[in-house]
């Protein structure tokens, strides 16, 4: 143990400790590493940020220097020895000829997290870390008002009682492979839809008022993707207007059916009827007011309807494309409506 530090030595230590390695300092002051560290601790000296930056570089250099496999000659020799030992049968390559999934599977089986005790311990540790503020959750300090992702979560789950079973189910699917996960999701969705159809299950959204913004958002996406629900497929539609003769009067009833078919949103801008607080207009796509079949009618808000007064050809093409995509209506190249009449013998 060093008996006494001179003022000069202490000054050197104060000056050089933050930016020099301990090896350099022990050599310069002719002391042991322990002595150096003890004194630095007493004086409250710390390594600087720059030192740690360079330290990582120094470590990797040291690793390279000390790693014999970085020496091409040694590496080559070692590989040859291994090859020989495999060839002679002294060593057995367990992975030879085996596909990667086997390896992955084995790793998964050996995963310490498979042990419930380890998992519990780890999760407790994680919770403690969160509580102490050592580890931060990504959504810490964010709210649905300030963060887009949280807003989406909130919209998706508002009013739903998820329950423990559901949470476990998600956990399971997240842990498994993506193909498996997709299978489970598909299966669950199928079961749920069947449940709703049979009346065994009640939709968590039933009877709940869904915010208008969300309805609009969903329908806009559906218009864009061409996946709008088709009213004609609803048994209540009773054939609708599709196969009615042309001379049908353009009355309130037809307009309401078209608005219903289009889910009460403007098929151009996606605004909902409730938002503009007035009924949507029923526009004649080919501008012929005598042709009031559903293939020629589309719901538009007043604003968009006004726009259709100019560029008529453009709008006709646009709306026909849209309806053919959404409802499988058929139009000829020149814009004529193709009516398919189905009849039973």
The window from 99-107, 198-206, 221-229, 299-307 that contacts Zn ion (CB under 5 A) reads: 299-307
The window from 60-68, 225-233, 293-301, 317-325 that contacts Zn ion (CB under 5 A) reads: 293-301
Q: Enumerate helices (H) and strands (E) in the chain, giving the number of each.
A: 15, 4
The window from 75-83, 113-121, 231-239, 298-306 that contacts Zn ion (CB under 5 A) reads: 298-306
Tokens of 239: 């054939």
Which residue is it, tokens 């143990």? 1
Closer of 39 and 273 to Zn ion (Cβ): 273
The window from 66-74, 301-309, 312-320, 325-333 that contacts Zn ion (CB under 5 A) reads: 301-309
Helical (H) or strand (E) element with 55: helix 49-66
Closer of 114 and 302 to Zn ion (Cβ): 302
Closer of 36 and 297 to Zn ion (Cβ): 297
The window from 36-44, 61-69, 238-246, 258-266 that contacts Zn ion (CB under 5 A) reads: 258-266
280 lines the binding site for Zn ion (CB under 5 A): no
Minimal distance, residue 335 CB to Zn ion, in Å: 22
Q: Give the Cα separation of 231 and 263 in Å (integer).
A: 9
Give, in order, the Cα–Cα distances in Å from 121 to each of 91, 113, 118, 344.
Answer: 38, 10, 5, 69
Which residue is it, tokens 């030595």? 9
CB environment 192-219: b (16+ within 10 A), e (fewer): eeeeeeeeeeeeeeeeeeeeeeebbeeb
268 lines the binding site for Zn ion (CB under 5 A): yes
Using CB under 5 A as the binding criterion, the count of chain residues that bind Zn ion stands at: 5
**Binding string, 303-332, against Zn ion, x = CB under 5 A?**
-x----------------------------
Closer of 301 and 326 to Zn ion (Cβ): 301
CB atoms within 10 A of CB 268: 21
Closer of 29 and 301 to Zn ion (Cβ): 301
269 lines the binding site for Zn ion (CB under 5 A): yes
241 lines the binding site for Zn ion (CB under 5 A): no
Closer of 118 and 306 to Zn ion (Cβ): 306
Contacts of 16 (CB under 8 A, 6+ apart): 24, 25, 28
Give, in order, the Cα–Cα distances in Å from 61 to each of 20, 67, 127.
Answer: 17, 10, 37
267 lines the binding site for Zn ion (CB under 5 A): no
Contacts with Zn ion, residue ranges (CB under 5 A)? 266, 268-269, 301, 304
């Amino acid at each position: 143990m060093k008996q006494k530090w001179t003022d000069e030595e202490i000054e050197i230590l104060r000056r050089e400790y933050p930016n020099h390695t301990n090896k350099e300092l022990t050599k310069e002051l002719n002391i042991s590493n322990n002595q150096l560290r003890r004194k630095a601790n007493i004086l409250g000296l710390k390594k600087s940020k720059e030192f740690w930056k360079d330290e990582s570089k120094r470590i990797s250099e040291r690793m390279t220097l000390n790693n014999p496999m970085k020496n091409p000659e040694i590496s080559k020799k070692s590989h040859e020895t291994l090859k020989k030992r495999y060839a002679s049968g002294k060593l057995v390559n367990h992975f030879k000829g085996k596909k990667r999934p086997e390896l992955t599977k084995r790793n998964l089986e050996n995963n310490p997290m498979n042990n419930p005790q380890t998992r519990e311990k780890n999760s407790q540790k994680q919770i403690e870390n969160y509580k102490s503020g050592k580890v931060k959750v990504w959504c810490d300090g964010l709210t649905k008002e300030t963060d887009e992702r949280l807003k989406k979560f909130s919209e998706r789950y508002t009013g739903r009682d998820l329950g423990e079973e559901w949470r476990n189910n998600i956990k399971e699917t997240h842990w498994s492979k993506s193909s498996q996960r997709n299978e489970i999701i598909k299966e669950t969705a199928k079961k749920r839809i069947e449940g709703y159809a049979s009346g065994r299950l009640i939709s968590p959204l039933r009877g709940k008022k869904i915010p208008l913004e969300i309805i609009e958002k969903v329908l806009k996406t559906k218009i864009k993707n061409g996946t709008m629900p088709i009213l004609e497929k609803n048994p209540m539609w009773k054939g609708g207007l599709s196969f009615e003769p042309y001379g049908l009067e353009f009355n309130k009833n037809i307009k309401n059916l078209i608005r219903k078919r289009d889910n009460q949103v403007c098929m151009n801008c996606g605004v909902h009827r409730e938002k503009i607080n007035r009924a949507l207009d029923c526009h004649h796509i080919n501008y012929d007011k005598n042709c009031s079949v559903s293939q020629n009618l589309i719901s538009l808000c007043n604003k968009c309807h006004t726009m259709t007064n100019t560029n008529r050809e453009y709008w006709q093409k646009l709306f026909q494309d849209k309806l053919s995509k959404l409802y499988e209506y058929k139009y000829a190249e020149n814009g004529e409506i193709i009516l398919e009449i189905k009849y039973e013998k």
